[in-house]
Amino acid sequence: MITIVDYGLGNIAAFATVYGKANIKVSIAKTVDDLKQASKLILPGVGHFDHAMRLLQQSRMREALDEMVLQDKVPLIGVCVGMQMLARSSEEGELPGLGWIDAEVRSFKSHEGTKSMSVPHMGWNDVKPLSPNPLFAELEADARFYFLHSYFMSCDRKEDVLAVCNYGSDFACAVQSSNIYGVQFHPEKSHRFGDRLLRNFAGL
Query: Does CATH number 3.40.640.10 belong to domain 2-202?
Result: no
Residue 109 pLDDT: 86
CB 141 within 8 A of CB 129: no
pTM value is: 0.96
Give catalytic residue positions. Answer: 80, 186, 188
pLDDT for the residue numbered 110: 81
Note the pLDDT tens digit of each residue in 23-41. Answer: 999 999 999 999 999 999 9
pLDDT at 116: 79
* pLDDT score, position 142: 79
DSSP the chain: -EEEE-SS-S-HHHHHHHHHHTT--EEEESSTGGGTT-SEEEE---S-HHHHHHHHHHTT-HHHHHIIIIIS---EEEETHHHHTTSSEETT-SS-----SSEEEEEGGGSTTTTTS-SSEEEEEE-EESS--GGGTT-TTT-EEEEEESEEEEESSGGGEEEEEEESEEEEEEEEETTEEEESSBGGGSHHHHHHHHHHHHT-
How far apart are the C-alpha atoms of 123 and 38, rounded to whole Å? 32
pLDDT reported for residue 147: 98
What pLDDT, on a 0 to 100 scale, did the predictor assign at position 170? 94
The reported pLDDT for the residue numbered 140 is 74
Q: Can you give the pLDDT at residue 20?
A: 96
Query: Residue 4 has what pLDDT?
Result: 98
Taking the chain (204 residues) in runs of 10, the rounded mean pLDDT of each run is 96 95 96 96 97 98 97 98 98 97 94 79 96 92 92 97 95 98 98 97 96
Give me the residue spans of the domains in the chain.
Answer: 2-202
